[in-house]
Amino acid sequence: MGVEHPVQSNTIVDVLEKVLDKGVVVAGDIRVGIADVELLTIKIRLIVSSVDKAKEIGMDWWENDPYLSSKAADQNTKALEEENKKLHERLEQLERRLETSEAKPRY
Amino acid sequence: MSLLYLYSFIPTSESNQPLPSLKGFDGDRELYMISIGDVTAIVCDVAASEETIKEKMDQDVEWLQEKAFHHHETVLQLTKIYTLIPLKFCTLYKSEDSLRNTVESNQEKLRETFSLLEGNEEWNVKIYCDDEALRKQISEQSPSIQAKREEIEALSPGKKFFERKKMDQYIDQELENEKTSFCEGIHEALKTHSILGNIKKNWNKDVTGRQEKMAWNSVFLLPQDEVEAFIKTFKGYEEKFTASGWQFEASGPWPAYHFSSFTS
């Protein structure tokens, strides 16, 4: 058919709204319901759209974000603030580097 | 401990079509069939305990994303081969006996669902709207709003403030009315091609990650020979209204998640 499954973030939402929310519910032996499909979709969309990009440029701070990962759930705010500060510095560095490379003449 | 992961049910009459080689839930063991009377279950073994799965589900979003997509992709592939009832993500059984019991006690409902789905496809339509553009249009083109605006101009400054506020609310209301009646019209037209058409919830921008607001979200069960006409109607709307700030999206065929949602 002419219309196919659209790609990327639309697909993520489309898939999750069906797989997590719909489909036949027969009494399995194990009930593993998902409480908040909406919230979960947001989290997953954010992860999928940013992980590779973030890793690519070394910004893997999300691994320590308690909202996105349970690994960091017990870390305190101070550590996060420190992380945030480092991140800002890094971002500045990157921007500076970007500016210098743009300033160079191209051949 | 080993669990049984259930992907979907198919009619046993179609089970002579061989299963393609598909990797199961833990990326290791293959899918296989279990026939229980008229109904055949497509399953795989999972070497995990109930606790591990629950824990992963609650705590590991990346795992969940990967597995949800695995579930979807697997069911989607099977849909191309069989008349299929998709199961909800993570439907697990402790034993084959327990699965048999469940199927036996739902035989009737499963049979009814198969006959509803046979030869039909699920399609999803989403309409998005550029609220700002449409709001501007309404505000500039509605004669009643124009008249009201002139009235307000003649008022004292204090009154003007409150009347303008009221007017903003009125335009917002008009915007919502316009969106609903526009989308309803399209939905009804598309529905004529379908056996069933259901209106779903609109997701907000945080969920969709799009700039435009979702104005309509609906699913249709279409006979296979109506799909082409359905798409033609859909594209007609798309061509006509894209320029005025509407965006249209149709996707399918999906496994019939929305038209096989009975509970046991």
Establish if A68 belongs to a structural domain. Answer: yes
Cα separations in angstroms, B245 against B132, B138, B184, B218, B238: 9, 13, 17, 19, 11
Identify the domain containing residue A49 by its residue range. Answer: 8-103
- Residue A35: DSSP 8-state: S
Torsion of CA B111, B116, B117, B123, to 10 degrees: -150
How many pairs of residues across A and B have Cβ atoms under 8 Å apart?
143
Least CB-CB distance to B207: which of A19, A20, A38?
Answer: A38
How much is the pLDDT for B28?
A: 83
How much is the pLDDT for A9?
A: 46
Nearest chain B Cα distance for residue A104, angstroms: 35
Report the Cα–Cα distance between both ends of chain A, in Å, rounded. 46
Establish if A1 belongs to a structural domain. Answer: no
How much is the pLDDT for B208?
A: 86
How much is the pLDDT for B6?
A: 94
Q: Are strands B39-46 and B32-36 parallel, antiparallel or unpaired?
A: antiparallel
The segments of chain A whose pLDDT lies below 70 read 1-10, 23-28, 31-33, 35, 48-78, 101-107
ipTM for the predicted complex comes to: 0.71
Does any CB of chain A come closer than 8 Å to the CB of residue B227? yes
Residue B53 to residue A15, Cβ atoms within 8 A: no
Establish if A3 belongs to a structural domain. Answer: no
Predicted TM-score (pTM) of the model is 0.76
How much is the pLDDT for A84?
A: 82
In B157-176, the residues whose Cβ lies within 8 Å of chain A are: none
How much is the pLDDT for A16?
A: 83
Does any CB of chain A come closer than 8 Å to the CB of residue B6? yes
* CATH number of B121-254, picked from 1.10.287, 3.30.70, 2.20.100, 3.40.1710: 3.30.70
Residues of chain B with CATH 3.30.70: 121-254
- A42 → chain B, closest CA residue: B207
Give the Cα separation of B262 and B258 in Å (integer): 9
Digit-coded pLDDT (tens) for A50-80: 555 445 544 444 344 333 333 334 445 667 7
How much is the pLDDT for A102?
A: 61
In sequence order, the β-bridge partners of residue B31 are: none
The three state secondary structure string of chain B is CCEEEEEEEEEHHHCCCCCCCCECCCCCCECEEEEECCEEEEEEEECCCHHHHHHHHHHCHHHHHHHHHHHHHHHHHHHCCCCCEEECCCCEECCHHHHHHHHHHHHHHHHHHHHHHCCEEEEEEEEEECHHHHHHHHHHHCHHHHHHHHHHHCCCHHHHHHHHHHHHHHHHHHHHHHHHHHHHHHHHHHHCCCCEEEECCCCCHHHHCCCCEEEEEEEEEEEHHHHHHHHHHHHHHHHHHHHHCEEEEEEEEECCCCCCCCEC
Nearest chain B Cα distance for residue A107, angstroms: 38
Number of domains in chain A: 1
pLDDT tens-digit profile, chain B (264 residues)? 689 999 999 999 999 999 999 999 988 889 999 999 999 999 999 988 888 888 888 888 888 888 888 998 899 999 999 999 999 888 899 999 999 999 998 999 999 999 999 999 999 999 999 999 889 988 888 888 888 888 888 888 888 888 888 889 999 999 999 999 999 999 999 999 999 999 998 988 888 888 899 999 999 999 999 999 999 999 999 999 998 889 999 988 999 999 987 665
**Residues in B touching A69 (Cβ below 8 Å):** 61
How much is the pLDDT for B162?
A: 87
**Residues in B touching A40 (Cβ below 8 Å):** 61, 64
**Residues in B touching A68 (Cβ below 8 Å):** 61
Report the Cα–Cα distance between both ends of chain B, in Å, rounded. 26
